[in-house]
Structure 1
Amino acid sequence: MTLKQIIGKLHLWLGLASGLVVLIVAGTGTLLVFEDELDEWANKDFFAVAVPQNAQRVSVDSMYHAAKAYDSSLKITRIYLESKAPERSAIFYAKKKKTNTWHIAVNPYTGKVIRARNLDKRFFGVVLNLHRHLCMNEVGKTITHASCLIFVLMVITGLVLWWPKRWHILKQRTRIAWSSKWKRLNWDLHAVGGFYVHIVLLAIGLTGLVFAYPWFSNLVYQLADGKPAPKKEAPANTVKEPIKAGFYESLYDQANAKLPYKGRVTILFPEKDSLAITVNKVNREAVVDNIVDVLYFEKGTGHLLKESLFKNSSTGNKIRRMNLPIHTGKLFGWPTQILALIAALVAFSLPITGFLIYWVGRKKRLAKKVKNPVRITSKQEESAAV
């Protein structure tokens, strides 16, 4: 058996083992590419408000107290505020029983709660759960993580199998014969279609491994920085002073003064009182997505303790920050999102076309065995023949 035949067997059996999971993950991935856009379009009343003439926005503190009073069983952990976007509502991220997550939208001009929604029960919440965990919690997570690793191997072995032995066959391997019979068309859709998006699929698969396995995420830092991933934690909050009125508004103002570009400001409440408050801002004016600068403020006084700007980050941190937009296709906005959507659709088709190739080959092998059966002779027959 040649090396290519061994790779072919590996590609086949890995595909049969992970095909159903890839079908689910790729199918849900096609929906998640434009999750933010579709979610905001379907829930305009949640994310957008009418801007009154000459109206003044209420303080962040007032909005926080309104969200906090909405449901005492919800613990607010983050505040999302879009700067230079007056039509956007303020979103408060809250938790119930540690795992149940909610969003509470507040009108920034009236200071009243618009409505709240359970993130896990919304449409995209279920889709995301399927994509990450197959709606099976830790067991599903283990399966999807392993399938992601298998998928990367499938892309690599698939490219090896596609690679033509002679260059004159290259034209055939790069063109789908749309007018041919379904068996040939199915093979072309699988092999040729997979080839055209293999780089995108490999990027999606590898970035998926960064989310799946801490050792793989750490490998990014080892290769880029020559050392393990740094521990990310807010600096210590040494001064204990009570929160005064206007405190969160001052953090929002300081963040926008320090980082004047258009973007989403996130105020994160520390899990421990001994830690400073983290405020980060996503740069909406940057060429690529997910460029984030981080500021740390002293709780109570609001003094800036530390800043962690993206431009000063290590190469490993910058690559790690790009992991999510590469995986979702949001790296350069709509063009890369459309490319990711096409790749996800092809990935969704691969288990189907691959199984049909296997099934047709299996039927041929069975038919050949029936036509040319292997005759087993006894020792007596062999002696008589001699």
Structure 2
Amino acid sequence: MKNVLKKISSQLHLWLGISSGLVVFIVALTGCILVFEEELEPVINRSFHIVAVPENSSRLSLDSLTHLVQAQFPKNKLSRIIVEKEENRSILFGFKQGKKEKELLTAAMNPYTGQLIGSRAEHDTFFEVVLRLHRYLCMGDTGKVITGISCICFLVIMITGLVLWWPNRKNQKQRFTIKWDASPKRLNWDLHAVFGFYVLPFVFLIALTGLVWSYKWVNNLIYLAFDGKPQQKREAPAQLSLMGKSATHYQEILSETHKLLPNPGKVTFTTLDADSLSITIAKTDDAAAISNVVSFLYFSKTDGSLVSTRLYKDETPGFKARRVVFPIHTGSLWGLPTKIIAFIASFIAASLPVTGIIIWLGRKKKGKKKTKKALTKSDRIKPEILVKKSVI
């Protein structure tokens, strides 16, 4: 029974690995890069995000900055504002660009001088391209299907790999240690099997949580498990009165947000372009034990008054479970330590298809040599058989 299980696992591991290897390599490698997106983005595009903080100088009001930036882009509709917690960060204004919702033009403003630092199409930024490659292979819905199937294949590959790796009394040491001074063939096997074993729990969690973005039913399963019902659609409360719509109260809203939610964290304004909805404020809680803790406040577009609140502490278990999926997937759950683990695990995961293909090609070459040797041997035997036959 054990031998049958290993034989089935071997075939599944091999052919699923060959069929999904390239996709797994791309997704894992891009995942490595995305782990540190939050840290790398201000470094790569420093002039866009970082500003000099003048001595004894106060920031301009958010309303003033909004008027200044809208004057620069009169044909575009403002859809979001991002205010980072750090004093030396620029204020980011997102404008709708094109017909698609996700096509945003982001403008960076210096909050101390009111100067436009620059603008960029989010669709073309480095990390946005990497993200599309990671989720869809830059192929839209078709790529989403391919990455989803490959993710399931990779989960099966890890399970079958564990079955094949499982040690016996004779090879226990070999299964847990890498022989660095071994032949290239043996070293490659160790890198595949031993490293694969050590990162398996982390990579399995990363791949499993990745299914949430590939399949809606997996997302709903989280809510069903914790809330007993599928995810409920949530949106900002309706904007009942549109009188005074031309006025802006963004600074007043920002000040009220900091009063109600005094914790440090990024503040994001959205639904600014939806006349029928209140302004949605999302503020992260960087002081929380885990990342991705967000509370929501809703303000009136008319006078900036608070309409309603949706605090994280009052959310359903299903919502909280769903919020923790992203930090588990990206490794940001407990900050830098878990990010480093996720980076290493993803990097090794990207190497597994490469080392696996090398193992397969080596065995294939060995099989050809054995066949050739057997044929050569049979050619040598044939004359002797003929002689025997003639004597008889």
Unmatched tracts of structure 1, length 5 or more:
376-386
Q: 2:116 aligns with which of 81, 106, 113?
A: 113
Find the aligned partners of 1:146 and 1:270 in 2 and give their Cα distance.
Answer: 37
Does structure 1 conserve the Cα–Cα contact (< 8 Å) formed by 2:299 and 2:307?
A: yes
Find the aligned partners of 1:29 and 1:82 in 2 and give their Cα distance.
Answer: 24
Does structure 1 conserve the Cα–Cα contact (< 8 Å) formed by 2:22 and 2:353?
A: yes
Question: What is the one-letter code of the residue matched to 2:13?
Answer: H
Find the aligned partners of 1:74 and 1:279 in 2 and give their Cα distance.
Answer: 21
Find the aligned partners of 1:70 and 1:170 in 2 and give their Cα distance.
Answer: 67
Find the aligned partners of 1:329 and 1:127 in 2 and give their Cα distance.
Answer: 17
1:101 aligns to what? 104
1:81 maps to 2:70: no
**Measured at CA, do residues 366 and 168 of structure 1 come closer, stay the same or move farther in structure 2, by a change above 3 Å?**
closer
Find the aligned partners of 1:57 and 1:214 in 2 and give their Cα distance.
Answer: 43
Larger deviation, residues 363-372 vs 353-362: 363-372
1:32 maps to 2:34: yes
**Measured at CA, do residues 93 and 156 of structure 1 come closer, stay the same or move farther in structure 2, by a change above 3 Å?**
farther
Larger deviation, residues 290-299 vs 141-150: 141-150
Larger deviation, residues 102-111 vs 196-205: 102-111
1:382 aligns to what? none
1:273 aligns to what? 275
How many Å apart are 1:13 and its aligned residue? Answer: 0.7
Matched residue SS, 1:178: coil
Q: 2:176 aligns with which of 152, 174, 177?
A: 174
Q: 2:127 aligns with which of 116, 120, 124?
A: 124
Does structure 1 conserve the Cα–Cα contact (< 8 Å) formed by 2:247 and 2:302?
A: no
2:384 aligns to what? none
How many Å apart are 1:325 and its aligned residue? Answer: 1.5
Matches within 5 A, 1:122-161: 122-161=125-164
How many Å apart are 1:271 and its aligned residue? Answer: 5.7
How many Å apart are 1:6 and its aligned residue? Answer: 0.7
Structure 1, residues 137-166: CA drift from partner, whole Å, max 9, x if none?
2222221222122222222222222222x3
Does structure 2 conserve the Cα–Cα contact (< 8 Å) formed by 1:60 and 1:246?
A: no
How many Å apart are 1:73 and its aligned residue? Answer: 4.1
Question: What is the one-letter code of the residue matched to 2:94?
Answer: Y
Does structure 2 conserve the Cα–Cα contact (< 8 Å) formed by 1:60 and 1:248?
A: yes
2:216 aligns to what? 214
How many Å apart are 1:35 and its aligned residue? Answer: 1.6
Matches within 5 A, 1:275-354: 275-354=277-356
Matched residue SS, 1:229: coil
Find the aligned partners of 2:172 and 2:29 in 1 and give their Cα distance.
Answer: 30
Question: What is the one-letter code of the residue matched to 1:358?
Answer: W
2:386 aligns to what? none
How many Å apart are 1:62 and its aligned residue? Answer: 1.4
1:228 aligns to what? 230
Does structure 1 conserve the Cα–Cα contact (< 8 Å) formed by 2:78 and 2:273?
A: no
TM-score by length of 1: 0.91
Find the aligned partners of 1:24 and 1:73 in 2 and give their Cα distance.
Answer: 38
Matches within 5 A, 1:41-52: 41-52=43-54
Q: 1:202 aligns with which of 196, 201, 204?
A: 204
**Measured at CA, do residues 288 and 167 of structure 1 come closer, stay the same or move farther in structure 2, by a change above 3 Å?**
farther
Q: How many residues align?
A: 374
1:91 maps to 2:92: yes
Matched residue SS, 1:2: helix
Structure 1, residues 326-382: CA drift from partner, whole Å, max 9, x if none?
111111111111111101110111001000111111122223333345x9xxxxxxx
Larger deviation, residues 211-220 vs 298-307: 298-307
Structure 1, residues 17-53: CA drift from partner, whole Å, max 9, x if none?
0111111111222221112212211222211211122
Does structure 2 conserve the Cα–Cα contact (< 8 Å) formed by 1:73 and 1:96?
A: no
Find the aligned partners of 1:80 and 1:249 in 2 and give their Cα distance.
Answer: 13
**Measured at CA, do residues 93 and 149 of structure 1 come closer, stay the same or move farther in structure 2, by a change above 3 Å?**
farther
Find the aligned partners of 1:101 and 1:69 in 2 and give their Cα distance.
Answer: 17
1:378 aligns to what? none
Q: 1:60 aligns with which of 62, 78, 83?
A: 62
Find the aligned partners of 2:146 and 2:235 in 1 and give their Cα distance.
Answer: 30
Find the aligned partners of 2:355 and 2:38 in 1 and give their Cα distance.
Answer: 31
TM-score by length of 2: 0.90
How many Å apart are 1:272 and its aligned residue? Answer: 3.8
Question: What is the one-letter code of the residue matched to 1:39?
Answer: E
Larger deviation, residues 19-28 vs 122-131: 122-131
Does structure 1 conserve the Cα–Cα contact (< 8 Å) formed by 2:78 and 2:272?
A: no
Does structure 2 conserve the Cα–Cα contact (< 8 Å) formed by 1:59 and 1:246?
A: no
Q: 1:263 aligns with which of 262, 265, 278?
A: 265
How many Å apart are 1:185 and its aligned residue? Answer: 1.1
Find the aligned partners of 1:238 and 1:58 in 2 and give their Cα distance.
Answer: 30
Question: What is the one-letter code of the residue matched to 1:70?
Answer: Q
How many Å apart are 1:128 and its aligned residue? Answer: 2.0
Find the aligned partners of 1:55 and 1:246 in 2 and give their Cα distance.
Answer: 23
**Measured at CA, do residues 200 and 278 of structure 1 come closer, stay the same or move farther in structure 2, by a change above 3 Å?**
same
Question: What is the one-letter code of the residue matched to 2:226?
Answer: A
Does structure 2 conserve the Cα–Cα contact (< 8 Å) formed by 1:329 and 1:336?
A: yes
